[in-house]
Chain A
């Protein structure tokens, strides 16, 4: 069997923020890969480093942060070594991003056509008329009615869902090989959320685009992703095929995360709660970052646990992983 090289492969990524109070290791030893047409779910609480991972891939980590180590192999090229000018050529053309808050991502004082055509013309040498046509088609694809009228409108004339559709249309404009979606449905109504999810999924399958879907919502990922990475305190604590991880969670944190989601099967029972709080990433103590909240922690957890392979194609960063179906583990 010949190994097809994945669209994106991240190896031991380290993104650190050099603040006045010390170094914050926002992303620490993160490795994963996404293939063409695949959806990878990146799940974690706020502050777990999932967004920073996304911005690292795009090369948009703001000061005082920077990529301190590791490799980001995109179609075989290491983005970390690439000059800013080269990276800019990839941004918006080969790698696109959809942001969390659709109310904030579009510039309020520029018309939609301006904001769309500039994205086309930044990467392709086409006339304004042709660019406008491309944008029009993109709007039709994401299900925006009366695109000509919409192109001449300003962002505030759109609803939140519509704006996010526009943002998605912009992301798909130059037929990227990879899309990073940073919680794009969090700010939307549940009904709109479903439509957007469906839209994004269809577009990915049709165009063979790889997608990283960053979210804190397990329910969203469950219906969308092929693979899942669970992040905690800047590390990926567990990853694997979506069904394997959700049905047989190995890391105690994953178990806690799944257990705290209300479910029909466990109706009436007490919801699981992870004790304690997420640790500050500033000067994080050595060892497993989750050990202070972990019911299975022992003295062995004082050393940083290595990533080890578990059954069903999962990888776990834990010394005492669970091994069994969800119901058994939760009880």
Chain B
């Protein structure tokens, strides 16, 4: 197990290094931040002073070298716009996005798996067909449109939920969290549902396919031949088998939700990382974009590692073969 972990960590370091090069070169190539940040009326001397202050006068390789040097010390640069530590800026927005993503994940799992199993067990029933039709909608209707419809329905027409913002927060270890207050929860509900819709549809499809496959297996028939109650067959024999693909996909999707909740956060004015990213791209705030992408890479690596660990819990076959590796 330890050897396996170390090997995975080595691979991860390589990915981070490769990503650092790609991100830096990529962001360097787009636009000139000076044009946006300094008013066109500024004099030549002023302009040059600003360029020197931001370190943009140095050649690209030297800028990269400085970036790497600082990054190794945990410093991913200072925001051009806010003049604060870029990483700190992002991290201050992280809790808002995290709690939104986790609530959406809960929705996706606790709605998607049961609905998918119902659709898989009774594929020809009205319930099964309705669920599948619904999941197609969840897949194909654009995310931003779904969000706007949610606002229209619940905030404008029925006036039961707020349309945007974060609501009251509670400070836990110096971090503001919404889900601990009723007002905050009511603010979270719509964006979380919006973020979860696509993932729920995905989980429904996975759970349905898995259930249909598993229920044809001999071990299910054997379980029936043992005289087990249908409930136990579904909740133990089938469920445990379909969780493996669901966990894989959801792991990746969780990373996606945290890193790219951009659309939802914009529609619902949710002050999370996604909104910060969009703003930073518009203002060509390079250090923030770079820091954001680096953070995303590291997050994906950690999530993937966690998913692999979860496999070991769910699938005894993986547990053994990897213990030997």
Contact = CB atoms under 8 A, between A and B. Distances in A.
B231 to A, nearest CB: 11
B315 A167 contact: no
Interface string A156-200: 110000000001001000000000000000000000000000000
Contacts of A287: none
Given A91-B227, A119-B227, A109 B222 contact: no
B241 A118 contact: no
B228 A92 contact: yes
B229 interface: yes
A122 B241 contact: no
A209 to B, nearest CB: 15
A108 B217 CA distance: 11
Interface residues of A, number: 31
Contact of B226 (A91, A108, A111, A157): A91
Interface stretch (B7-15, B17-25, B232-240, B298-306): B232-240
Interface string B116-140: 0000000000000000000000000
B159 interface: no
Nearest to B319: A154
A93 B227 contact: yes
B227 A123 contact: yes
B53 interface: no
Contact of A91 (B225, B232, B240, B317): B225
B221 A60 contact: yes
A107 B226 contact: no
A170 B228 CA distance: 13
Contacts of A96: 225-226
Contacts, number: 77
Interface string B292-325: 0000000000000000000000111100100000
Given A108-B317, A110-B237, A118 B224 contact: no
B120 to A, nearest CB: 15
A122 B222 CA distance: 14
A97 B223 CA distance: 10
B218 interface: yes
Contacts of B317: 108, 154, 156
Of A100, A101, A108, most buried by chain B (CB within 10 Å of CB) is A108
B154 interface: no
A151 to B, nearest CB: 14
A101 B227 CA distance: 19
A128 interface: no
Nearest to A120: B226
A104 B227 contact: no
A167 B222 CA distance: 9
A170 B226 contact: yes
A92 B236 CA distance: 18
A281 interface: no
B145 interface: no
A100 B237 CA distance: 19
A43 interface: no
A100 B226 CA distance: 15
Contacts of B241: 107-109
Nearest to A119: B226
A219 B224 CA distance: 30
A105 B223 CA distance: 8
A108 B219 contact: yes
Contacts of A123: 227
Contacts of B224: 60, 91
Contacts of A167: 222
Contacts of B226: 91-92, 96, 118-119, 122, 170
A322 interface: no
A156 B321 CA distance: 11
Contact of A109 (B223, B225, B315, B320): B315
Contact of B222 (A93, A106, A114): A106
A89 interface: yes
A141 interface: no
Of A106, A107, A123, most buried by chain B (CB within 10 Å of CB) is A107
A293 interface: no
Of B222, B224, B237, B315, most buried by chain A (CB within 10 Å of CB) is B222
Contacts of B236: 110, 114, 118
B229 A122 contact: yes
A118 B232 contact: yes
B218 A105 contact: yes
B160 to A, nearest CB: 42
A114 B226 CA distance: 13
Interface in B200-254: 217-219, 221-229, 232, 236-237, 240-241, 244
B125 to A, nearest CB: 12
Contacts of A109: 240-241, 244, 314-316
A105 B219 CA distance: 4
Contacts of A93: 227
Ordered nearest first, which 6 A-B pairs have the shortest CB separation? Answer: A92-B227, A104-B218, A91-B227, A92-B226, A154-B316, A119-B226
Given A110-B237, A123-B227, A154-B316, 4 more contacts: A60-B225, A108-B241, A108-B317, A156-B320
